[in-house]
Copies of this chain bind each other. A is one copy, B any other.
Amino acid sequence: MSAEIICVGTEMLLGDILNSNAQFLAQQLAQLGIPHYYQTVVGDNPERIKKVIEIAISRAQILIFTGGLGPTPDDLTCETIADFFGSPLVERPEVIEDMTRKFAQRSRVMTPTNLKQALLPQGADILPNPTGTAPGIIWQPRPEVTILTFPGVPSEMYRMWEETAVPYLKSQGWGKEIIYSRSLRFWGIGESALAEKVAPLFDLSNPTVAPYAGKGEVRLRVSAKATSETAAQALISPVEQQIKEIAGLDFYGVDHDTLSSVIGRLLRSSGETLSVAESCTGGRLGQILTEVSGSSDYFWGGVISYDNSVKVRLLGVNPQDLDKFGAVSATVAQQMAVGVKSRLSTTWGLSITGIAGPTGGTDTKPVGLVYVGIAGPNDEVASFEHKFGATRNRDFIRYVSANTALDTLRRRLLAR
């Protein structure tokens, strides 16, 4: 019993897009304990898609398709599969209803071409698409062949996979031994430094411990093989404890935790509030904080003081200090934090000023130089200098700056 991933789309043959769907599905199949040995990418071409199906059914029992379910003429996956297995396409009224409703919600008009998406192979079950308009199918055209189709749009595919495909695959009793993983997340420590601290754990066989360098952060993935999630968790948790003790404050969360969700929990529990003042990040810090639903409980807002005039007008930064120390300085970072804290009357004020590049760097103030300011209760105020390296690009420097500011607050809140 094995699965095969088939990604359909000429855009992948042209290199227009990165095939992230294959990686997602591969991870998911591993977690479900369903082996898969091949991944194939093929263009929007019926004859070639059929050849791929022919090969796939000769070596796998579950065929997972992504891409080619859309409304346009080059979206051919569903009809080609039906054609291959000699099954007619049948229009599904429930799909048309669902599409009509979604178009209405978005106050857009449904065009005749969309009706194409309602044509599914006879006998196939609908694999509902909660977010988009193109549904997938779960179909056994032959006793030994099971087909699942998904749109190429990752966000739509993910939800369809999690909400319908996973329960279905489990219900079939496929994947007896599961692989369950916990991802431990760290900020403010490098991959090699962390790896050295936990080196002995890399020799473990079940669970295994493996390091991954994420964007500006490091993760340790602890994976256990077991017959149930509970059994796997029992294997993982002592190792997880050990790692947390070794890492101390460099550890910030697990799995889907983010620095902003962790800070959210801390601020909510202490009943405190936060405001931000951003220069080089231009709003990214606020954006990351408000990625958390319900963040309005503790995040009140902030000022994007991209131009110096805004630093003076809305944050009360001293113009003489701006001239004397420059916008990218510890002094200005502190005044920004104090300014936003007092003007929005929040418990904490967090600020960022720096040089994101690629231009604007000097010998004394190179690209990647960033100051984080923090203002808190009892007139507490501090600033921290960071050098994120002139070799990094603008996006990376802005991303790391915003998250480093969050990490600064996180450590401060935990230090009490």
Spell out A's residues near B (CB within 8 Å). 10-20, 22-30, 36-43, 45, 48, 51-52, 55, 59, 70-74, 102, 105-114, 130-131, 153, 155, 179, 181, 183, 190-193, 195-196, 202, 210-213, 215, 221, 223, 275-276, 278, 280-287, 289-291, 293-296, 299-307, 309-310, 313-314, 343-345, 356-359, 368, 387-396, 398
Q: A191-B72, A290-B283, A306-B301 are in contact. Are A39 and B13 (CB under 8 A)?
A: yes
Q: How far is the CA of A393 from the CA of B132 in the complex (A)?
A: 11
Determine how close the nearest CB of chain B comes to the CB of A19; give it in whole angstroms.
Answer: 6
Q: A23-B15, A28-B15 are in contact. Are A105 and B283 (CB under 8 A)?
A: no
Q: How far is the CA of A109 from the CA of B193 in the complex (A)?
A: 8
In the complex, 9 of the A-B residue pairs with CB atoms within 8 angstroms, ordered by the A residue number, are: A22-B41, A38-B52, A71-B192, A72-B191, A74-B210, A131-B392, A282-B289, A291-B394, A303-B314
Which B residues lie within 8 Å of A305 (CB)?
301
Contact in complex: A306, B283 (CB < 8 Å): no
Q: How far is the CA of A131 from the CA of B395 in the complex (A)?
A: 13
Most chain B beta-carbon neighbours within 10 Å: one of A25, A45, A111, A221: A111
Contact in complex: A196, B113 (CB < 8 Å): yes
Contact in complex: A71, B24 (CB < 8 Å): no
Which B residues lie within 8 Å of A283 (CB)?
276, 278, 282-287, 289-290, 302, 304
Q: Chain A: interface secondary structure?
A: mixed
Least CB separation from A302: chain B residue = B304
Least CB separation from A280: chain B residue = B290
Name A17's contact: one of B23, B37, B314 (CB within 8 Å): B23
Which B residues lie within 8 Å of A12 (CB)?
22-23, 26, 39
Contact in complex: B303, A192 (CB < 8 Å): no
Which B residues lie within 8 Å of A25 (CB)?
15
Contact in complex: B23, A202 (CB < 8 Å): no
Which B residues lie within 8 Å of A398 (CB)?
287, 290
Determine how close the nearest CB of chain B comes to the CB of A235; give it in whole angstroms.
Answer: 16
Determine how close the nearest CB of chain B comes to the CB of A121; give it in whole angstroms.
Answer: 22
Determine how close the nearest CB of chain B comes to the CB of A113; give it in whole angstroms.
Answer: 5
The 5 A-B pairs of least Cβ separation, nearest first, read A283-B286, A282-B290, A283-B283, A15-B27, A15-B26
Name A387's contact: one of B106, B276, B343 (CB within 8 Å): B106
Least CB separation from A24: chain B residue = B15
Contact in complex: A306, B300 (CB < 8 Å): yes
Name A294's contact: one of B11, B285, B359 (CB within 8 Å): B359
Contact in complex: A18, B18 (CB < 8 Å): yes
Determine how close the nearest CB of chain B comes to the CB of A130; give it in whole angstroms.
Answer: 6
Contact in complex: B23, A18 (CB < 8 Å): yes
Q: How far is the CA of A358 from the CA of B159 in the complex (A)?
A: 15
Q: How far is the CA of A308 from the CA of B362 in the complex (A)?
A: 40
Contact in complex: B192, A113 (CB < 8 Å): yes
Least CB separation from A48: chain B residue = B37
Q: How far is the CA of A36 from the CA of B13 in the complex (A)?
A: 7
Contact in complex: B310, A301 (CB < 8 Å): yes
